[in-house]
């Protein structure tokens, strides 16, 4: 499982995904279908996410079935942004899909 902070046009969101990378073509396609066509993503430690989100993390993980491949853990941009130090973020991944 990967955890990532995704900076989108409406602000940061925190996503958990079973995809191998935060720029996996299938993940990019799935996010694009949800209106997220352009983003900068940073991988964060799943352990740190679990520590900071506790019960909410457990509920989301418990709700994940084998066919699910992503869950938005937090969409409150202010909360996501201030929940992680910039030093904790991995290398940026830039995705700029088709904007038509």
Whole-model pTM?
0.89
Domain that holds residue 83: 2-96
Helical H segments across 1-100, by residue range: 25-33, 46-63, 77-83
Structural domain count of the chain: 1
Going by the DSSP 8-state scheme, the letter that residue 14 receives in this structure is: E
φ/ψ of residue 73, rounded to 5? -85, -35
How far is the C-alpha of 28 from the C-alpha of 81, rounded, in Å?
22
Query: For the segment 36-94, what is each residue's pLDDT rounded down to a tens digit?
Result: 999 999 999 999 999 999 888 888 877 655 556 888 899 999 999 999 999 999 899 99
């Amino acid at each position: 499982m990967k955890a990532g902070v995704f900076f989108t046009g409406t602000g940061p969101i925190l996503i958990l995904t079973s995809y191998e990378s935060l720029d996996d073509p299938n993940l990019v396609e799935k996010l694009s279908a949800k209106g997220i066509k352009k983003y900068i993503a940073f991988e964060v430690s799943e352990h740190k996410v679990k520590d900071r989100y506790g019960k909410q993390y457990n509920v989301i993980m418990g709700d994940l079935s084998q066919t699910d491949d992503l869950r938005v853990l937090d969409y409150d941009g202010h909360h996501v942004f201030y929940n992680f130090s910039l030093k904790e973020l991995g290398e940026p991944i830039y995705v700029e899909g088709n904007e038509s």
